[in-house]
A and B are shown apart, each in its own frame.
Chain A
Amino acid sequence: MVCHENKLLPIRSTVWEQCPFSAVATEGNMALTINVNGKQYAVRSDPTTPLLYVLRDELHLRGPRFGCGLSQCGACTVILGNTTIRSCVTPVVGVTTGQVTTLEGLMQDGKPSAVQQAFIDESAAQCGYCTNGLMMSATIFLRQNTNPSEDQIKQALAPWLCRCGTHYRVIRAVLKAAKARV
């Protein structure tokens, strides 16, 4: 099973991220548990169900959102361990051994993370539907590059789409968050 193959459409999708697993066991309806934002949850859905639907419909989380279901836009992005994944194409069975963090989980002691605060300070959203993915990717990116240039930010965010055109503010917010973390 390959992440970017979507059975709904005979369309090849851009692969922006490595698939976090190479094969999944789908025999039977075994009881699954996943760790999300530091808590363990039993999963009701079928193991092949994309993580996104489990997060939204079972755990009632609102951070990750359905944009395309094709790993193309990034609105569904969550963090698995220390990398971003597209929850819309990742079967829930693929994340049973890792730690999943959603936008809700970025909050620390009830306070916005440095990235979230910078996005608020820079008004880096219009409709805000895609902003989840931008913040999740910025969070991981800043762990790897603590002092990025504007160009590096643009390249890092290339796999995430925004249709409202909030890009200028997002770049400013990521620069600001980088400074806040230093």
Chain B
Amino acid sequence: MTLDKGFSRRDFLKGTGALVVAFSLPRFLMPSAASARSAAVGPTLVDPNLIDSWLAVGGDGHVTVYTGKEELGQGVATASLQLVAEELDVPMSAMTLIQPDTWLTVDQGYSAGSQSMKTEYATGLRIAAAEARLALLNLASAKLGVPASQLAVSDGVISVQGDASKSMSYAALIGNKKFDLTITGKAKPKTPDQYKVVGTSVPRIDIPSKILAQFTYTQDITTPGMLHGRVVRPPSLDAKLLGVPDFGGQSMPGVVKVVVKNNFIGVVATEEYQAINAAATLTAKWQTIPLPDQARIYEIIRGSPSLTDRVLENSGDVDGVIKNAPKQLQATYYYPYQMHGSMGASCAVADVKANEATVWSSTQGVYQLRGALATLLSMPEQNVHVIYVEGSGCYGLNGADNVSLDAALMSQAVGKPVRVQYMRHDEHAWENYGTAMVLEARAGLDDTGHVAAWDYATWTASRGNRPGPPGNVPTGVMAGFPEMPAPKSPPPSPPLGPDGSNTVTSYTFPSQRVITHSVASRFFTGPLRSPSRIQNTFANESFMDELAYAVNQDPIAFRLKHISDPRLIAVIEGVAELSQWVSRPSPQANLTDRLLIGRGIGAMQYEGTGAYAGVVAQVQVDTKTGKVTVQHVWAAQDCGLTINPDGMRLQAEGCVVQGVSRSLREEVQWNAQGITTVDWDTYPVLRFPDLPQFDFRIINRPDKPVLGAGEVVITGLVAAIGNAIFDATGARLRQAPFIPARVRAALTV
């Protein structure tokens, strides 16, 4: 990228409203491998209250749109542009989307938690585009001398209704000029019945360039004079570096510097493979603290002192009701640490100068990462420029933020731009894993077969989080930055209510107690697609199945007796119909064959306030080997208004593939020295031949707000598969993943 004649987006935003000429917006704004800059520091604020912060119309009518929500491969870029295309009546082909950049785009928080489309719809681009449309109509009204109410817009041209000869294009009205208008909230966005673009399966804008090798990933970023870095990690996070690392007397060609900061080690070399070789050769001595025995990990988690206790629900005399209930049941479930497992090892490029830094990163929050980098580099935040570039799919907090810290530390140490990419074992062994949890459920059933009281408690092993502070991710800690202390427990009364993590079920119980405990973890943890929600739903939905079995009822019929929300009922009935669910109690009758087939359900409202899904799985269990094959998955999903049905389906397909993989195979493993699941052989994921059939139904509700679609189906899937195994065999799996050894063990109980 080259900036035309010294103009920049910042100059444009700082400008006075005068005509800005001599550049074409879309061309100069591509956030690619560019470092041409006219000043060292960024703007104090990209003001979310200004239309100009969200979009600009070029002299040719092309609309450049600025988002604070990162495209992570999930399709939000396309869906976001659909919102703008709809409100502005501009074709998709006449728009360019600029990805988050601390110099260019509004701080919309993390692109996480399936919140991107919900946010863009409720408070972001849709609102800004509606304001821009109103402003353009007002301008045209003044110029054409016709009330705005008599104007119509088509393909970026405003014309008088009934007299197409009187018209003005957006380009003629405001091309290359600023709106200079505050977002008032007065503009009325279109209503769903007017939608032509929203609600249709517009093809993904990024796919052709990805297919044709023309797309720029973070891994493709280069800058002049760039060096290559690799990290050298300790055996485990709490190890202390002893002495000075060396190459054992070998001469390593191309090595520029071995960067050491506290327990952080990076090797910088001229060529990439030189850096790889040097990092592999470097010898460092470490004082280590043995990791806990993995065979006892759940016992350790359950027995650890709780750092934070939260009482979410405590209604009625739970202990008394359960004690006096005619039927009582209790069960404990276990969920392992799991990996994001991005296909591309994380990568970042940092160019750190004396008092300014530019970092190209696949972070989920450019502003949040900027804060971490500013602390790490001892610079004012404004002097750190973070540019988002899409990397490999992350599904949460993979190594993308962490590697940005690595690159920044190495670049600062050598005074030159450094590109750092992880080796596979760096990614596998050092990402912030999805948390391991112990989940205990207890309930009393009344004479009518209803749950009279529900008692649920969880123990979550967690450490670190998103940046924030550098100490939230491994590199920050190794470089000597403090970890965030665990928050204090709030008082038990009054109860806090649902925590957005599906800890509290979607069911109505007359009496319930729900408590969470947070305990220490030796590994770093962080959000992984359906964080805590998948673990809680595995436990809650498995336990509901156990209760249905206890009263000899069909699992769906039993659930429906405890639901009042019509939208949850609709997805459950929807998936029952889609999967041709036959109502009967589990398990199925024939338990004698070697190969047994069963079906199970998992359902919930995501986070208690989000989208709804009912998920049914059909499995085949080989009772001799314990191997489980997921043959078919059905899902019905309600995300309110659907913006892009095919995009939603693609997310659901991803949920199925990743969810089956996590249900059947995935478990982080370690020994006393360190993580042993360091590649795709030791941490296997689902492959093509293991793909289940998948049928999906979208329950579109144009009158309801947009809800995130990225992680709904996966949340119910682990339980659905576990329940299907029970239906097939009569054996209950209470520990994920459902590997053959665990299935065999459950079959012999």
In the bound complex, what is the Cα–Cα distance between A9 and B220 (angstroms)?
A: 25
B724 at the interface (CB under 8 A from A): no
Residue from B72, B206, B219, B653 within 8 A of A166 (CB atoms) = B653
- Stretch from B149-157, B210-218, B314-322, B554-562 forming part of the interface with A: B210-218
In the bound complex, what is the Cα–Cα distance between A170 and B653 (angstroms)?
A: 12
A-B contacts, CB under 8 A, total = 184
A119–B211 touching, CB < 8 Å: yes
B204 at the interface (CB under 8 A from A): yes
Chain A residue contacts of B75, Cβ below 8 A: 126
A168–B694 touching, CB < 8 Å: yes
A45–B212 touching, CB < 8 Å: no
User: Closest CB of chain A to B527's CB: distance in Å?
Assistant: 16
Residue from B391, B657, B685 within 8 A of A129 (CB atoms) = B391
In the bound complex, what is the Cα–Cα distance between A90 and B421 (angstroms)?
A: 19
In the bound complex, what is the Cα–Cα distance between A164 and B72 (angstroms)?
A: 10
Chain B residue contacts of A142, Cβ below 8 A: none
Mask for B651-691, Cβ within 8 A of A = 1, else 0?
Answer: 00111111000000000000000000011111001011101
Mostly, the B contact residues are loop
B208–A164 touching, CB < 8 Å: no
B345–A45 touching, CB < 8 Å: no
Mask for B320-362, Cβ within 8 A of A = 1, else 0?
Answer: 0000000000000000000001111100000000000000000
Q: Given A7-B280, A8-B423, A69-B424, do A127 and B390 touch, yes or no (CB 8 Å)?
A: yes
A112–B210 touching, CB < 8 Å: no
A77 at the interface (CB under 8 A from B): no
Number of B residues contacting the other chain (C-beta, 8 Å)?
A: 58
A68 at the interface (CB under 8 A from B): yes
Please name the residue on chain A nearest to B342 by beta carbon. Answer: A163
- Stretch from A17-25, A79-87, A150-158 forming part of the interface with B: A150-158
In the bound complex, what is the Cα–Cα distance between A167 and B656 (angstroms)?
A: 10
Number of A residues contacting the other chain (C-beta, 8 Å)?
A: 64
B520 at the interface (CB under 8 A from A): no
Q: Given A129-B343, A165-B653, do A112 and B392 touch, yes or no (CB 8 Å)?
A: no
Q: Given A116-B211, A126-B654, do A73 and B691 touch, yes or no (CB 8 Å)?
A: no
In the bound complex, what is the Cα–Cα distance between A124 and B206 (angstroms)?
A: 11
B653–A128 touching, CB < 8 Å: no
B689–A62 touching, CB < 8 Å: no
User: Closest CB of chain A to B484's CB: distance in Å?
Assistant: 29
B213–A75 touching, CB < 8 Å: no
B271 at the interface (CB under 8 A from A): yes
B679–A9 touching, CB < 8 Å: yes
B658–A165 touching, CB < 8 Å: yes
Residue from A9, A53, A131, A170 within 8 A of B678 (CB atoms) = A9
Q: Given A131-B210, A161-B343, do A70 and B679 touch, yes or no (CB 8 Å)?
A: yes
Q: Which of A45-75 contact B (CB under 8 A)?
A: 45-46, 49-50, 53, 56-57, 60-63, 65-70, 72-73, 75
Q: Given A66-B344, A165-B657, do A127 and B393 touch, yes or no (CB 8 Å)?
A: yes
User: Closest CB of chain A to B265's CB: distance in Å?
Assistant: 15
A40 at the interface (CB under 8 A from B): no
A145 at the interface (CB under 8 A from B): no
A139 at the interface (CB under 8 A from B): no
User: Closest CB of chain A to B743's CB: distance in Å?
Assistant: 23
A182 at the interface (CB under 8 A from B): no
In the bound complex, what is the Cα–Cα distance between A53 and B73 (angstroms)?
A: 25
B650 at the interface (CB under 8 A from A): yes
A132–B691 touching, CB < 8 Å: no
Q: Which of A126-148 contact B (CB under 8 A)?
A: 126-132, 135
A57–B271 touching, CB < 8 Å: yes
Please name the residue on chain B nearest to A8 by beta carbon. Answer: B280
A129–B273 touching, CB < 8 Å: no
Mask for B411-424, Cβ within 8 A of A = 1, else 0?
Answer: 00000000001011
A57–B345 touching, CB < 8 Å: no
Residue from A65, A103, A155, A163 within 8 A of B341 (CB atoms) = A163
Chain B residue contacts of A67, Cβ below 8 A: 343-345, 392, 424
B: residues with CB less than 8 A from A are 72-75, 203-204, 206-208, 210-217, 219-220, 222, 271-273, 276, 280, 341-345, 390-393, 395, 421, 423-425, 646, 650, 653-658, 678-682, 685, 687-689, 691, 694
A: residues with CB less than 8 A from B are 7-9, 11-14, 45-46, 49-50, 53, 56-57, 60-63, 65-70, 72-73, 75, 102-104, 107, 112, 116, 119-120, 123-132, 135, 151, 153-155, 157-158, 160-171
9 smallest CB-CB distances across A and B, nearest first, come from A127-B73, A165-B657, A128-B210, A165-B654, A127-B393, A63-B213, A129-B392, A68-B424, A72-B680
